[in-house]
Every structure is written in structure tokens, then in C-alpha cells.
Chains A and B, each alone.
Chain A
């Protein structure tokens, strides 16, 4: 056990954790928007919109995240049309490619979580709103959304942790996140166990915080 290496790699890894956290938070924000959008499409009665949303989540949940990142980072640059458009400013950066891939991926899972939450809302709540003469819009924003958020908290907590682990794939497209730096230190020092303990410890600490935060929210919003 090389304690010196563990101590000296800790600040480097902690620095890289910032990249991981940035990737995670941005992907979660975009993912939540995608998720809500596709969940609403999925609940729509229009069969075309419904199917579109279904295929989106099927494709992103049925293929590995690694393939998705590679298609976006290596694949999209091949299309002439994209290279000459303003989108290229975003797509040439591995950082944004990773965020796009993560957001689309977590969006697919989030849309499934939200859809099932919307579907399990007790019909009585909506009927009660109707009979009180509350408009459809207010029923949606003030009754359905708060209940759906509460219902989906446990599953969404798991999704956040899965996404935290997913951000490690950013290291495959040259980004130096926590896993990327850990791999760099391992391959230069050949001391995998020490680095694994430090990097794994940081990941476990983050998982622990997220887990407890979600638990706290669940308690706060339980009824």
C-alpha cells in the first residue's frame, strides 16, 4: 500500500471531481427537460407523437451509453451539413458531445420514470379537481406535476446515481473527469489498487450524499 501516492493523487482527483459534477449537473438539468417533454408526448393520445416518444426511449435504453457518445462525438462530425452549420461550434467540443449524449440518455430513462408516475396518479385527484371547476391547465401544474414528482423521487434518485456512474464514460472521449484522471494516474504509476480506493471513495461519497438527499426529499414530500 503506497500511502504517499494516495495522498498526492487525492487533490488531483478532487479537482477532476469538479468536471464530473459539472457534467452530471448539466446532463441532469437537460435530461429532466427532455424527460418531461417526452413523458408528456408519451401520454398524448396522438399515435404518431406517442410512437415517436416510445422509440426514442426504446433506442436510448436499448443501446450502451458508450455507443451513443461515440456516435455523437465521432459520427456526427462526418456529416458535411453539420460541419458547416453553427452547430459545429458545439459538436466539435468533446465536453458538449458528452453532455448531449448523457442528457439524451438520462432523458430517455427519466421519461419512463415520469410516465409511470403520471399513470399511477389516483384518478380521484383529477376528478376532484374537475368537479371543483379547476381548469385543465391548473390541474396539470398544481395537482398532477407535484404528485408525479413525489411518486418518481425514489426511481429518479437511482437514475441520478446511474448517471453519476455514466459520466465516467466521458473519459473515453478525452475528457479528464474523475475516472479519466484516475486512469491516467494508474497507467503512469501502475498502482491500480491505491488509486481505485481514492477515486472509488470519492464516487461512493457522492453516491452517499445523493442517496441521503433523495431520502430527505422523500420524507419532506411524503403525504
Chain B
């Protein structure tokens, strides 16, 4: 237990902050994923063939390629891409992107593909009559979406989004390869300097279990809220 002491003698505080980092990355990635889903869900549902193709390629490619490969692409190619865009605007200095931003962006792209599928499925399983009814009533598009479709969609989407959250949370362990100090990276450092990998990796597993367990409890409460009235 000495190994987990807080302060300079143990790894307790380091692991605590690493856990906070994991949570921060997961939440950021989830939000970035929602933004991607917001763009790509309409594309996937669109009747235009080209838009449809773009939407489908995104989800197919991201869900068919290993997460690690996507992370390497962004880690090695991210700052190059940003520098290229910056050079168009006449900025030619070296830009280094923070590991947190690269990491949450990479996980966000992956989580976005899963969220897109969830939202698409939820919207498609809403009764057609609901769309027709709001057309007949002459509701404006935003009112139709926010007051009619959204509440029904969320009820169907929340249980599946909790799966996406679990996947995202576990995927954040992969960005330890880029050097961002989250649970996995911190355990790696601690295991290396104390030569006690069994203890630290098992402790990391316990931390992840705790995170998934607690978030499940929270999400169950949300589910009850959105099931209201059914």
C-alpha cells in the first residue's frame, strides 16, 4: 500500500490526476464525437447519393480500421496537416499540437462514428407518422426537429449511447502510446520505476472497472429520465 501513498513517496496522487485526465479525455472525445455525429447523421440519412456516400464512408472506414491506426495517423500526421492549413493562410512557423488535443480528437473521430450509427438507428426507428404529422401541422423545421424528433430520438438513443461511452472510455487507454499521461501511461511510468508492473497494471484495471461501473450507474438514472411517459 506504500506504493499508493499520496505525495512524493508514492504514486497515489499521480494516479489520481491520471484518472482525472482519463475522464477529461473521455468527455472531450465524447463531445467531439457528438459534433461529428451531428454532421454525419444527416449525411447518412440524406437522399442525395454523394452526401450519402460521404456519410457511409466515414462510419465504414472508422469502424473497420483499428483505433490504434487512427491514433498513429493523427499523432504523426496531425501537426503536419495543421501546418499545411496554416501555410495557406501565410503562417509558416512550426506548430506543435498538444497531446491532449490530438488524443481527444482521435478518440472523438472514432466515438463519432459509433454515435452516428446510434443516432441514425434511433431516427430511422421513429414512426413515419410523426414526420408526416408535423408536416401536416406546418411546423417549422427547427421546431419539428427539437420538439418532435429529438425527444423521441433521445429515448431510443440513450441506452446505445451508454455503450458508446463505455467504448470511448476504454479507447482512451490507447492514447497512452502518444505520451499523454492518463491512467495507462501513468501505470507504465510507475511500473517502470518501481519494477512492479503486476500491481500497477492491476490497479489500472481496477480504476477502469470503477469508472465503467460508476458511469453505468449515472447513465441508468439518465435512462429513467428519458423513459418518462412511456
Contact = CB atoms under 8 A, between A and B. Distances in A.
B19 interface: no
Interface in A41-99: 58-59, 62-68, 70-71, 74-79
Given A74-B201, A78-B198, A172-B177, A63 B170 contact: yes
Interface stretch (B4-12, B133-141, B151-159, B203-211): B203-211
Nearest to A66: B173
| Chain B interface, >50% SS class | helix
A179 interface: yes
A202 to B, nearest CB: 10
A196 B205 contact: no
A193 B73 contact: yes
Interface of B: 60-61, 63-69, 72-73, 76-77, 80, 170-171, 173-174, 176-177, 184, 187-188, 191, 196-198, 201-202, 204-205, 208-209, 212-213
Interface string A159-199: 00100111111011000000100110011001011001001
B69 A199 contact: yes
The dominant DSSP class at the A interface is helix
Contacts of B191: 74
A207 interface: yes
A64 B170 contact: yes
Nearest to B171: A64
Given A67-B173, A67-B205, A192 B68 contact: no
Contacts, number: 112
A203 interface: yes
Interface of A: 58-59, 62-68, 70-71, 74-79, 161, 164-169, 171-172, 179, 182-183, 186-187, 190, 192-193, 196, 199-200, 203-204, 207-208
B59 to A, nearest CB: 12
B76 A66 contact: no
A76 B198 CA distance: 6
Given A64-B208, A204-B60, A168 B77 contact: no
Contact of A179 (B63, B69, B176, B204): B69
A98 to B, nearest CB: 13
Contacts of A70: 184, 187-188, 197, 201, 204
